[in-house]
Amino acid sequence: MPENRRAAERPRGDSGANPGLLFHSSVFLRRFVVYCVLYALLRDAWPRRDDAAEARFRALFLERFMGETIDTAPEQRRAVLVAVVRERQDERQATEYLDELSFLAETAGAETVKIFTQNLDKPVHATFIGKGKLEEIKAYTEENPVDMVIFDDELSPTQLRNIESVFPGIKVLDRTNLILDIFASRARTAHAKTQVELAQYQYLLPRLTGMWTHLERQKGGIGLRGPGETEIETDRRIIRDKISRLKNELTKIDKQKVIQRKNRGKLVRVALVGYTNVGKSTLMNLLSKSDVFAENKLFATLDTTVRKIAIKNVPFLLADTVGFIRKLPHHLVESFKSTLDEVREADVILHVVDISHPQFEDQMKVVNATLAELIKEPKPTIIIFNKIDAFHYVQKEEDDLTPVTRENYSLNDLKQMWMSRQGSETVYISAVKKENIEELKEKLYDIVKEIHSARFPYNDFLYQDYTENNPETEE
């Protein structure tokens, strides 16, 4: 009887359990159902979903409901670098080339754990390097965790197939594939993405035979000689169709770019060129007060950025272009010819050089060779030696009688050497420290003003500067 009385006195819907526990259980259940539905929708909505985004969502789901915390940061890959040292290369030059390859791997997100070199007159036709060196690299990869093997040259399809058979389960990359991967990760605009995709397909087309194991030719025999094409021929046809489609898209984009450049004809155009990672984008941000992406990594800039700036009373357009590099893939050069039209149609060239780099002379030769292919007639050029704040040299003792090497030249010595005797203007600056920027502006102002006055003889300046032609007024 007392139990019945207590049951009758309970509020309706009260079963005697802890109300707080019931409340939390119901909230948890509702959240669980909502997140499950969202997760299912996200999985089905985008078939080509980003694996990283899915991993982050799964980690958040487990953290909220299961109390688990999962690290979703991308794991850094471990890479082994392989290079062939030619007979004409000295040790310092070979070291600099390997340092550049290591920097490329770091930009792509790989950590260099070992470097292998072999002195050869020319690479081996079948395996690029000798069999003994190949076995040495294989033994190292078996004893140590390695994710990829990167070669400092472009591998032929035969070399790539033979090397992949030696390293099962390890990704084999050459310099061209590595650069294409960096370009694919850096492309932002539709123009750059189309250019990179075209270069990737052109690189992939002759290497289809060893890409996938299912690309095997059909077997012969009775009842198996049907019409049609083999699987590899199908894939080749698909890639050729994609290459044709991408070329048509680039043609349309190029027409739009031509119209845009025609509208800029009233202003003098200045183009920043140079080796990759020499500070072009940093200088662009300094002169134009813009926010162009700049990073101490290779190929931070792929898309041409144009800004209108003015020095004193002369306005002009300043363009930031993609950086050059040695052994630039041929397919990439062909794809990015439209991007380099800004350089081809520029009135003034600003050649930026990283003077703190030990091999800056070789970098200048690479840029000059590329400019010679693009520009048929000489144009006014200012050579800007950047990063003087990072320049360092080894000072010799007074009693040291050893021959003077390149490392013993100070900045003043370099200024008095061949760089100061060139036909073009030279200036030494630091874009980060903002050193000698006013000197650069004065030289750029004189050249741009002369071109502007010749093109517009009726004085189309922003304002009239009366102090230039009247020294008494200036005093």
Report pLDDT for 137: 92
Look at residues 378, 307, 301, 302 and name the one whose alpha carbon lies nearest to residue 338.
302
Sign of CA dihedral 326, 332, 337, 338: negative
Question: CA-CA distance, 96 to 324, in Å (whole number)?
Answer: 16
Report pLDDT for 409: 75
For residue 352, the cross-strand partners are: 274, 384
- The CATH label, of 3.40.50.300, 3.40.50.450, 3.20.20.370, 1.10.1270.20, for the domain at 266-394+404-455 is 3.40.50.300
For the chain, which residues make up each domain, given as ranges? 26-74, 77-173, 266-394+404-455
Per-residue pLDDT of the chain (475 residues), as tens digits, is 454 554 445 444 444 445 444 445 566 667 666 666 666 655 544 444 445 555 555 555 555 544 444 454 456 788 999 988 887 777 777 778 888 888 888 888 888 899 998 888 888 888 898 989 999 999 999 998 888 899 988 888 888 889 988 888 888 888 888 888 887 877 777 777 888 888 888 888 887 754 444 444 444 444 444 455 566 777 788 888 888 998 888 888 878 877 776 766 678 889 898 888 888 888 888 888 766 655 555 655 556 778 888 888 888 888 888 777 777 766 666 666 666 777 888 889 999 999 888 888 888 888 888 888 778 788 888 999 998 888 887 777 777 777 777 777 777 777 777 655 555 688 899 888 888 899 999 999 999 988 888 877 666 666 666 555 544 444 3
Exposure string (b/e) for 223-248, b if CB count within 10 Å is 16 or more?
Answer: eeeeeeeeebeebbeebeebbeebee
Here the tokens at position 363 are 């970098």
Full DSSP string of 40-71: HHHHHH-TT--HHHHHHHHHHHHHHHT-----
Largest CA-CA distance found in the chain, in angstroms, rounded: 117
Question: CA-CA distance, 253 to 176, in Å (whole number)?
Answer: 25
Question: CA-CA distance, 181 to 113, in Å (whole number)?
Answer: 20
Q: Quote the DSSP letter at residue 289.
A: -
- Main-chain phi, psi angles of 351, to 5 degrees: -90, 105
Report pLDDT for 1: 47
Here the tokens at position 329 are 């893939």
> Phi/psi class of residue 437: alpha, beta or left (left: φ > 0; alpha: ψ in -120 to 50)?
alpha
Domain 77-173 top-level CATH class: alpha beta
- Main-chain phi, psi angles of 434, to 5 degrees: 60, 45
Q: At what angle do helices 91-108 and 175-186 cross, to 10 degrees?
A: 40
Sign of CA dihedral 147, 151, 154, 157: negative
Look at residues 287, 274, 296, 313 and name the one whose alpha carbon lies nearest to residue 437.
287
- pTM attached to this predicted model: 0.68
**Identical topology for domains 77-173 and 266-394+404-455:** yes
Here the tokens at position 375 are 């520009």
Q: How many C-beta atoms lie closer than 10 Å to residue 77's C-beta?
A: 15
Look at residues 261, 269, 274 and name the one whose alpha carbon lies nearest to residue 370.
274
Q: Quote the DSSP letter at residue 18.
A: -
Full DSSP string of 408-455: G--HHHHHHTGGGGSSSEEEE-BTTTTBSHHHHHHHHHHHHHHHHHHH
Residue 305: its H or E element:
strand 305-311
